[in-house]
Structure 1
Amino acid sequence: MMKQNEERIFDIRDIRVTFDTPDGAVEAVRGVDMHVNAGETVAVVGESGSGKSQIMMASMGLLAANGSVSGSVTYRGQELIGLPRAKLNRIRGAKITMIFQEPMTSLDPLYTIERQICEPIRVHGGLSAGAARQRALELLKLVHIPDPERRMKSYPHELSGGQRQRVMIAMALANDPDLLIADEPTTALDVTIQAEILGLLAELQKKLGMAILFITHDLGIVEAFADRVYVMQKGLVVETGGTEDIFQRPQKDYTKMLLAAEPEGHKPPVGDDQPILLDARDMCVTFTIKGGFLSGPGYEVKAVQNVGLTLRAGQTIGIVGESGSGKSTLGRALLQLLPSEGRVVYQGTSIQGFDRAAMRPFRRNLQMVFQDPYGSLSPRMTVGEIITEGLLVHEPSLSGRERDRRAIQALEEVGLDPSMRNRFPHEFSGGQRQRIAIARAVILKPTVIVLDEPTSALDRSVQKQIITLLRRIQESHNLSFIFISHDLAVVKALSDYAIVMRSGKVVEEGPTSEVFDNPQSEYTKDLMEAAFNLREVLNRQAAARV
C-alpha cells in the first residue's frame, strides 16, 4: 500500500443510478458518497449486483442507453456528470482510465492488440506511429505478456482470458493516468499472475503517484492492497473505513458475512463402477498463426499436447493451471468446438472430428458454460429468449407457454428472480449474467457440462451459492462436470478429481484430496502456495516496497 496524501482528487456525492426496464424502473445505486485521495488505493467490495461497478460506469459516462444518473462526480474539482463528450474524453483515457471486468467485450475483435494499445497513446499522448508502437511493446512486457512482439499482431480471440485482461491493463496504463479505476482486474487471472499484476500496479502507483479505485470481490487481495474500503449492499454503502478496521473490527453483519464466506466442503469420489460418459485420449490442439509482410513469418502454437481424461457419471473433474495453460482450449476441443487431433468418445460413440451438423444430436447432452458470460449472451435477446433458445432446437414441439415455464424453473434453479426474464443481459451484473449462462445449459437437462471459469466473476458469498447449486443439480440429475478454473479453493470444494496443466501438458493429476494435500510437482506446489497463501505473498510484496 502506498502512503497517500489528503488531496481529494475524485469525489462522488449522492450518486444515484436508475435503469428503465420493461418491468419498471430499477434503482441500482441509491445515494452513495465516496472519495479517493491522491496516491491512495480505495477498494469497493460487495456482492454481485450491489451496484459497485455501475457507480464507476456512471462516473465515466458509460451507462447503458436505458440508464440515468443523478448526483455529482468531480475530478480535481471538474464536474463529470453532464460534461460534454468532447471535454469528458480529454479526461477519461488520459487522466482517468478504467480496466473493465470482461476484457473480451472491451477489446475490438477486428483490430490487432498493437492497434488497440497504440490508439489511446496516439490520441492522448500525441506520439508518432513508431513511438506509439515502441510504447505498446514496453507495456506488453510490463504486464508479462509472453512473446510480446508476436502478440502485438494477434487478435483478442487468439489470446487466453488472462492474457486479454493483461492487455486491458496495459491499455489503461498507457498514458500514466492520475486515477486508475480497476473493475475486477484480476478476475480472469490465475493466482500466480494475480500476485504479479498486483505487485506491478503497486510499483507503478509508487512511480507515478497514481491513485487506484479497486472494485473486487476478492477480499484477500483487498486486505493486502487497499488503504480504505467501502462495503456495498443493494446499491448502498453499508460500511466504510480503513482496511485494518474493516477486516479486524467489522461492525455490520453483512461485512462479517462477506469476510466469513469461503468455499468449503469436498466432493467424494465416484466409484469405478460408474459408467464412462466421456473418454478422451491423446488430445492435441495446434493453432497456426499466419504470417504477413509486416508481421513476419507464421508460426504454430501447441495449445494442448497429448492430454487424456476419463469422465464418469456423477463425477467432477477439475482442470487448473495458469492463464494460457490450455485448460479452456481442452474443454472446447472435448466438445468439438474447435479442430483437434486425438480420440473423443461419448457414451460409446466416437465424436472426434464431427462437424457442426454431425454434433447437433449430441449438443443437448454436451453443454458448455463459457468464461465470458457477456460475450456469450446475445445483447439483442431477453434473458428468457436466451435461456429457451436451445429448446427451440432440441424440443421444437414445446408450446410458448411451456418454454416460458421451463425458463422460470431454470431461473429459480440458479437463484434468479423469474420476473427478470424480460430484461436484457446488459441490465445484469457480471455474477448474474454467469448464472443466466448456467441456466441456459441446465434447461436442456444435459449429461455433461463443461464449466469454463463459472465462478470467476462472482464474489465469495455467491460462489458458495453457485457451488451449492451445482452440487444440488449434479445430485438430482446425476450430471457430470468438467470444471475449468484458476480458483483452486473452488476446485477443491467442487471436484473429486483434479488435473493440473501447464503449457498445454498435464503435469499432475489424481484424486483432488491427494493433489491438493500432497502435490508432487514443483509447479503444483507453487500454485497451491500462491492460492492459499496469497495474503502473505501480497504482504511480503507490500513490505518490500516500504
Structure 2
Amino acid sequence: MHTILEVKQLHVHFPTSGKVVRAVDGVDISITQSETLAIIGESGSGKSVLGLALLGLLPANCTATGTVRYRGADLLRLSESELEMIRGSKIAWVPQNPAGAMNPSMTIGAQIGEPISLHVEKNRSIVRKKVLELLQFIRITPPEERIDSYPYSFSGGMLQRSLVAMGIAGLPELLIADEPTKGIDIMNRQAVSSLLRIVREKGITLLVITHDLSFARNLADRIAVMYSGRIMEIREKKSFFKGALHPYARGMLRSLPENGLHPIAGRTRETDKYDGGCRFRFRCTYAGEKCRVEPPLIPLPDGAAVRCWLYD
C-alpha cells in the first residue's frame, strides 16, 4: 500500500496575550491507503488542532508551518479555492459535537446531500436518491420519513451517524473523524464503531482522533500517541495494547477499567512553558538527568517509534 498523506514537522502556533501556545509542535506522521490510524491522547494534547490543520480549517490568528503532502501537493501551500476542491471530495472531515456541527435550519437530507451536489452529482432527484441510500446505510430508518427531518428531532447518536454520512457522501479517499464517540452512550459508540468499520471496508482510509482507548482498539490498525503537541509513540495496534512503550502511553493503558482505572499523576504543562526537555518528565517515574533534553522520535526494529530515552 502506498502513502496517501505524509506530514512532516507540522507546527501550529497560537499567539495569545504576549505568549505563544504551541498546540502542534513538530509532528511527523504518515497514513497509507486503506489503513486506519488512531491518534490518541488527553484533552489539550493537540489532536484536534492537528486534524484541522490538515485541511486548512484553522482560525486566522494562528500559524501553520511544515508540510502536509497529499498525492504530491502540499496542502499548507494551497489557496483556499484549491483546498475547497479537495475538502469533501478527496479528504473529508467529521467534526466533533454533532449537535453544534449541524445547521438547525436545514433538513438532514439537505445537509447530507450538499457534498454530493458539490462534488458528485448535480441532478436533484439523483442526489435525493443517494441521500436515501446513505440514510439506509447508516441505519436511520425509514429514510423516506427521516430525510426531511431537522436536526432537533435526532438523537445524539443519530446526528453523529449523519455526520459520518456527510463525510462519505462526496466519496473521499481519506476520512478524518474528530472524537466521533464524544458525548454519546455506549450503544451509540458501538454503532459508530461498526459504521466506521464498514466505511473502511469500502476502501476509505481513516484518520480517527479520539481519547476513547476502547474505540481505538476496536477500529485502528496503528496507534499514534500525542502529548503536549508531540507524537510520543507510533505502533501497530495489537503490540501497543499488549504493552505500550512510552511511560505516558503505559499510564493511559493503566487508566482503563480492566487495568484498575489508575489515573496518570500530575497535569500537562502549558506548551508556552516548554523548557527544552522531555515534555512528560514532570509526571514520569523514570525521569532522570538525561530527560532535561527532549529525545527524538526513536525508530525501533518492528517499525514502531517512541520518543523516550529509555529506548535510545
TM beyond 0.5: yes
What's the counterpart of residue 189 of structure 2?
A: 194
Please list the CA deviations of residues 131-190 of structure 1 after superposition, one character each: whole Å capped at 9, or x if unmatched: 111111111111112433222222222322221111101100112211111111122433
Correspondence 1:481-500 to 2 at 5 A:
none
- Counterparts of 1:198 and 1:176, CA distance in 2: 19
The structure 2 residue matched to 1:172, chosen from 164, 167, 174, is: 167
2:84 maps to 1:89 = yes
What's the counterpart of residue 238 of structure 2?
A: 244
The structure 2 residue matched to 1:49, chosen from 33, 41, 44, is: 44
The structure 2 residue matched to 1:26, chosen from 4, 21, 37, is: 21
Which one has the largest radius of gyration?
Answer: 1
What's the counterpart of residue 105 of structure 1?
A: 100
What's the counterpart of residue 292 of structure 2?
A: none
Preserved contact between residue 231 and residue 237 of structure 1 (Cα < 8 Å): yes
| CA positional deviation for 1:416 | 10
What's the counterpart of residue 113 of structure 2?
A: 118
Preserved contact between residue 243 and residue 250 of structure 2 (Cα < 8 Å): no
- Counterparts of 2:55 and 2:181, CA distance in 1: 21
- Counterparts of 1:127 and 1:190, CA distance in 2: 37
Secondary structure of residue in 2 paired with 1:44: strand
Report the CA distance shift for 1:237/1:159 in structure 2 as closer, same or farther (over 3 A).
Answer: same
Please list the CA deviations of residues 55-106 of structure 1 after superposition, one character each: whole Å capped at 9, or x if unmatched: 1101111012222201100111111003111111111111111111112222
2:92 maps to 1:136 = no
- Counterparts of 1:80 and 1:132, CA distance in 2: 29
What's the counterpart of residue 421 of structure 1?
A: none
When normalised by structure 2's length, the TM-score is 0.79
Please list the CA deviations of residues 28-62 of structure 1 after superposition, one character each: whole Å capped at 9, or x if unmatched: 01100001000111110000000011011011110
Preserved contact between residue 54 and residue 75 of structure 2 (Cα < 8 Å): yes
Number of residue equivalences: 264
What's the counterpart of residue 205 of structure 2?
A: 211
What's the counterpart of residue 233 of structure 1?
A: 227
- Counterparts of 1:118 and 1:203, CA distance in 2: 20
- Counterparts of 2:77 and 2:102, CA distance in 1: 26
- Counterparts of 1:155 and 1:206, CA distance in 2: 30
Amino acid in structure 2 at the alignment position of 1:89: E
Please list the CA deviations of residues 308-336 of structure 1 after superposition, one character each: whole Å capped at 9, or x if unmatched: xxxxxxxxxxxxxxxxxxxxxxxxxxxxx
Please list the CA deviations of residues 86-128 of structure 1 after superposition, one character each: whole Å capped at 9, or x if unmatched: 1111111111111111122221122111111111100100231
- Counterparts of 1:262 and 1:224, CA distance in 2: 14
Preserved contact between residue 43 and residue 228 of structure 1 (Cα < 8 Å): yes
Report the CA distance shift for 1:48/1:145 in structure 2 as closer, same or farther (over 3 A).
Answer: same
What's the counterpart of residue 288 of structure 2?
A: none
Amino acid in structure 2 at the alignment position of 1:226: A
| CA positional deviation for 1:262 | 3.5
- Counterparts of 1:77 and 1:245, CA distance in 2: 31
Preserved contact between residue 21 and residue 66 of structure 1 (Cα < 8 Å): no
What's the counterpart of residue 181 of structure 1?
A: 176
What's the counterpart of residue 290 of structure 2?
A: none
Please list the CA deviations of residues 394-419 of structure 1 after superposition, one character each: whole Å capped at 9, or x if unmatched: xxxxxxxxxxxxxxxxxxxxx999xx
The structure 2 residue matched to 1:70, chosen from 65, 70, 91, is: 65
Please list the CA deviations of residues 255-285 of structure 1 after superposition, one character each: whole Å capped at 9, or x if unmatched: 01111113679xxxxxxxxxxxxxxxxxxxx
Amino acid in structure 2 at the alignment position of 1:239: E
Deviation >4 Å, runs of 4+: none
- Counterparts of 2:256 and 2:218, CA distance in 1: 17
Task: Indicate the percent of aligned positions where both proteins have the same amino acid.
Answer: 39
Correspondence 1:461-540 to 2 at 5 A:
none
Please list the CA deviations of residues 362-405 of structure 1 after superposition, one character each: whole Å capped at 9, or x if unmatched: xxxxxxxxxxxxxxxxxxxxxxxxxxxxxxxxxxxxxxxxxxxx
- Counterparts of 1:91 and 1:233, CA distance in 2: 29
| CA positional deviation for 1:23 | 4.9
| CA positional deviation for 1:22 | 2.5
The structure 2 residue matched to 1:160, chosen from 155, 161, 164, is: 155
Preserved contact between residue 165 and residue 188 of structure 1 (Cα < 8 Å): no
Correspondence 1:235-384 to 2 at 5 A:
235-262=229-256
Amino acid in structure 2 at the alignment position of 1:50: S
Unaligned 5+ segments in structure 1 are: 266-414, 418-546
- Counterparts of 1:146 and 1:206, CA distance in 2: 22
Amino acid in structure 1 at the alignment position of 2:232: V
Please list the CA deviations of residues 230-259 of structure 1 after superposition, one character each: whole Å capped at 9, or x if unmatched: 101000011111112211121111001111
- Counterparts of 1:192 and 1:8, CA distance in 2: 34
What's the counterpart of residue 308 of structure 2?
A: none
- Counterparts of 1:136 and 1:221, CA distance in 2: 27
2:218 maps to 1:224 = yes
| CA positional deviation for 1:19 | 1.0
Preserved contact between residue 3 and residue 30 of structure 2 (Cα < 8 Å): yes
